[in-house]
Amino acid sequence: MDEHQESLFRVVLVEPEIPQNTGNIGRTCVGTNCELHLIQPMSFEITDTNLKRAGLDYWQHLKWFTHKNYQDWFSKVEDPSRVFYFTTKVSKTYYEIKFQKGDWLVFGKETKGLPPEIIHAHPEQAVTIPQPGNVRSLNLATAVAISVYEGYRQISRPQVNL
């Protein structure tokens, strides 16, 4: 990412567990000019071979940050109203968000999602990706890509009122 170019979004992974997902998400972030924020603890090291393989040779172009815990990350959020929490535990969909450049898109760990206390603390900003099929949830890397590209679609193409 160009050091002087403003990020499209800031993707936040709370305690990620699978290095291949984080690598794929990093690659998506490079391709969409998004930052990646990783909240510890993580179940792998950034030097993990699987993460690097999934991120291929894009990792050096990624603007990424680690935070020692959720509170450490949240203390850096300039406007808490522009943070969106993705979960399967609510009915409000991400279609209802009017994305803005610089928004924070927060995703939980692969096995459990976001902790209930985070969702309960921000009920108006908790959203889901509709899943009409018979699955508990989407793969984390897939959910991040869907969300980032919907935001990109909204920002890059003005809405037309018919």
Question: What integer pLDDT is reported at residue 52 of this predicted model?
Answer: 59
Indicate the number of domains in the chain: 1
Is 24 domain-assigned?
Answer: yes
Question: What integer pLDDT is reported at residue 53 of this predicted model?
Answer: 60
Question: What integer pLDDT is reported at residue 48 of this predicted model?
Answer: 55
pLDDT tens digit sequence for 22-81:
989 999 999 999 999 999 988 877 765 665 565 556 777 889 999 999 999 999 999 999
Is 116 domain-assigned?
Answer: yes
Question: What integer pLDDT is reported at residue 137 of this predicted model?
Answer: 87
Taking residues 138-150, what's their average pLDDT?
A: 96
Q: What is the 3-state secondary structure (H, E, C) of 135-160?
A: CCCCCHHHHHHHHHHHHHHHHHCCCC
- d(Cα 88, Cα 137) in Å, to the nearest integer? 7
Tell me the pLDDT of the chain averaged across its residues.
89
Is 36 domain-assigned?
Answer: yes
Is 5 domain-assigned?
Answer: no
Question: What integer pLDDT is reported at residue 1 of this predicted model?
Answer: 43
Domain that holds residue 95: 10-155
> Which long-range contacts (C-beta less than 8 Å, at least 24 apart) are formed by 23-26?
23/50, 23/51, 23/52, 23/53, 23/54, 23/55, 23/56, 23/59, 24/54, 24/55, 24/141, 25/140, 25/141, 25/144, 25/145, 26/51, 26/54, 26/55, 26/58, 26/59, 26/62, 26/64
pLDDT tens digit sequence for 100-119:
999 999 999 999 999 999 99
Question: What integer pLDDT is reported at residue 23 of this predicted model?
Answer: 87
Is 37 domain-assigned?
Answer: yes
Question: What integer pLDDT is reported at residue 79 of this predicted model?
Answer: 97
Residues whose CB is less than 8 angstroms from the CB of residue 129 and which lie 6 or more positions away in sequence, other chains included: 86, 93, 94, 138, 143, 146, 147
Question: What integer pLDDT is reported at residue 104 of this predicted model?
Answer: 98
> Is the predicted pLDDT of residue 96 greater than 80, yes or no?
yes
> Is the predicted pLDDT of residue 20 greater than 60, yes or no?
yes
Structure tokens at 129: 């990706």
Q: What is the CATH number of the domain that holds 103?
A: 3.40.1280.10
For residue 60, give the 3-state DSSP assignment.
helix
Is 161 domain-assigned?
Answer: no
Burial class (CB in 10 A: 0-12, 13-18, 19+), 104: buried
